[in-house]
Amino acid sequence: MKQLLVYLKDYKKECVMAPLFKMLEAIFELLAPLVMAAVIDTGILGGDIRYIIKMCMVMVLLGIVGLVCSITAQFFSAKAATGFGTGVRHALFAHIQKLSFTNLDRVGASTLITRMTSDVNQAQNGVNMVLRLFLRSPFIVFGAMVMAFTIDVRSAILFAATIPLLSVVVFSVMYISIPLYKKVQGRLDDVTLSTRENLTGVRVIRAFHLEEAEKAEFLNRNQKLTAMQMFVGKISGLMNPATYVMINGMTAYLIYTGAVQVDGGVITQGEVVALVNYMGQILVELIKFANLIVTVTKAVACGNRIWNIFEIPEGERAIERKEAETAVVDQDEMVVFSHVSLRYEGAGADALTDISFTAKKGDTIGVIGGTGSGKTSLVHLIPGFYPHTAGSIRIAGREITEYSKEELRKKVGIVLQKSVLFTGTIRENLRWGKADATDEELTQAVKLAQASDVVDKKEGGLAAAVAQGGQNFSGGQKQRLAIARALARKPDILILDDSASALDYATDAALRRALSGMKRQTVFIVSQRTSSIRHADKILALDDGELVGVGTHEELLESCKAYQEIYYSQFQEKTRREGVASNA
């Protein structure tokens, strides 16, 4: 948690002023019992009405000044805590954006959501409470003890004995609670995961009529969270009654001994009232301090969880190369894979094994293979989403490891399998590809992506609204707009990862013709359809993570069994027989 306090550096004034004004409020509060003692001993016993009125005005003045100090302290503490929370959220979000796909997969979206919301809120609340009470409560507790010594040493010894006993109770509860609150937040991760899965997969759940099963699963996770919270709450709940019993017992004993001393003329009635008030102040402040400890315990646990995310490195793991690359670089070569392998973190086997191929500028490369053959894994290596574990990848003549992330991603435009649009307008979504793109450039990209009819039919054209997740567009429309977004960047390398699966054959063909006219752009088309890649300059056929064929459609149809199986499974037996007859 202490590492996160760096986000308070811009609020140094507030961090000083908030406790300072709380201390001033505490001073005025400690003076009030002395004024009350004077009212009783001098005003009431002496029958001096004017003195009583004067002291009452002093009490009112102390109350008003204390209220102003309290409000001022609340303002500064709230400002500092809010600024702290804002800074942590911004930094955490920026750090998450820089994490590799490997780390994001390992941590999980539900955990990151909990860190960004609940954990940051708890940490922010902890900072707010600490600035308000961390100095004030101990100051009043020990200040009340000191003031008691100025009244009567014998009675004050009772105060000195009470405070250590109360401290043992408070810190014992804190010691037990901190690790338990970490477990509570872990349970909250599970509930967040269940909620997120149900919201994003609601259509699938309803399609399989599994609403009751999902309700039961959510109830189970929620009950585990509730049980853990109740267990921790019971332990934390022991603090208040334990302190109340101790303080009230001491107060009763104080009244008894005070009565004896008043009867003996040792102290006055007003001083007994002041001592009881000081004991009451200690009770109130220790209860506040106990609640502060609970809040701080939660904040520390949540702060440590937040810092665990910051400790995840942004960089990728080291790459083990099979052999040094000494060949002369061909300036026409855009993408070169040399004996590349990929193993996902925690996996038992390679997802890709010994992949080698070359893609030149202006080439269209088709990537095809069965389910799980490694098509997506291969193209995800090009923009550096995952680090290759062996071999060498060169982009435009340079090792991929020599590029910064920003530089590499600018050279690559990618359309993923699942097209994602963001809330806003069509224009704003397309400018994700190029922030300063003009409307003419966007219109050209839309035309190339065969999405002109999508934009034209929407009221406002490029200014048409896009709902959350692009829900006001069909699957094919979202795919074409996602392709237009990638084309707006005018990247050197364009990757279409099965991104035309929702397009009809005519639109798919028109899109391929448009892309073929982009002579200096290297295009990778990942598809399940052989019709989508048969005209590619080079086709990569994958099977179980291995490159089993490289060549044109005609070459693979003759020499690659895996490609033949895919091709003939998509065409009638008549086509197979005609192909065999023509070969004969």
In three-state form (DSSP H/G/I as H, E/B as E, the rest C), the secondary structure along 544-575 is CCEEEEEECHHHHHHHCHHHHHHHHHCCCHHH
Whether the CB-CB separation of 338 and 390 falls below 8 Å is answered with: no
Pull the structure tokens for residue 126.
Answer: 């902890």
pLDDT tens per residue across span 165-182: 877 877 787 778 777 877
Write out the two tokens for 525: 């088309």
Q: How far apart are CA 7 and CA 20, in angstroms?
A: 21
Query: Chain-centre distance of CA 11, in angstroms?
Result: 24
How confident is residue 186, by pLDDT bands cut at 50, 70 and 90?
Answer: confident
Q: What is the pTM of this model?
A: 0.70
Asked if 526 and 367 count as a contact pair (C-beta separation under 8 A), the reply is yes
Number of Cα atoms under 13 Å in the Cβ half of residue 10:
10
Q: Give the pair of three-digit tokens for residue 10.
A: 């811009």
**Residue-wise pLDDT tens digits, 40-52:** 888 888 888 888 8
**Band of pLDDT at residue 315, cut at 50, 70 and 90:** low
Q: What is the pLDDT of residues 194-242, one digit of tens each?
A: 888 888 788 888 888 888 999 998 999 999 899 988 988 888 778 778 8
First to last CA, the chain: 75
From CA 430, how far away is CA 462, in angstroms rounded?
Answer: 9
- The residue count for the chain: 584
Q: What is the mean pLDDT of residues 423-452?
A: 89
Residue that has been written with the tokens 């019993």 in this structure: 245
Domains and CATH numbers, the chain: 2-310 (1.20.1560.10), 333-583 (3.40.50.300)
Distance CA 158, CA 115 (A): 46
- Among 25-39, 270-284, 356-370, 395-409, whose mean pLDDT is lowest? 270-284
Rounded Cα gap, residues 27 and 559, in angstroms? 91
| Rg, Å, the chain Cα set | 36
pLDDT at 381: 93
Lowest mean pLDDT among 219-228, 274-283, 385-394, 415-424: 274-283
Tens of pLDDT, residues 549-579? 999 999 998 889 989 888 888 875 445 544 5
Residue 297 pLDDT? 78
Asked if 284 and 319 count as a contact pair (C-beta separation under 8 A), the reply is no
Checking if the pLDDT of 320 tops 50, the result is no
pLDDT value at residue 514:
84
Tokens of 56: 């009452």
User: What is the C-alpha to C-alpha distance for residues 93 and 112, in angstroms, rounded to an integer?
Assistant: 9
The pLDDT of residue 322 is 40
Contact assessment for residue 115 and residue 123, using Cβ atoms and an 8 Å cutoff = no
Provide the H-helix boundaries in 349-493.
Answer: 375-381, 405-411, 426-430, 439-448, 452-457, 475-488
The answer to whether residue 300 scores a pLDDT higher than 60 is yes
- The tokens for 119 are 């954990």
CA separation (Å) from 460 to 421, 454, 466?
17, 11, 11
Q: What is the mean pLDDT of residues 353-363?
A: 92
What DSSP designation does 523 have? E
Cβ contacts of 93 within 8 Å, gap of 6 or more: 116
**Average pLDDT score, the chain:** 84
| Token reading at 179 | 């690790």
- Tens digits of per-residue pLDDT, 481-493? 999 999 888 889 9
Q: Which own/partner contact pairs does 345-351 have at CB distance under 8 Å and 24+ positions apart?
A: 345/102, 345/105, 345/106, 346/106, 350/389, 350/545, 351/377, 351/545
CA angle 340, 344, 349 (to 5 degrees): 80
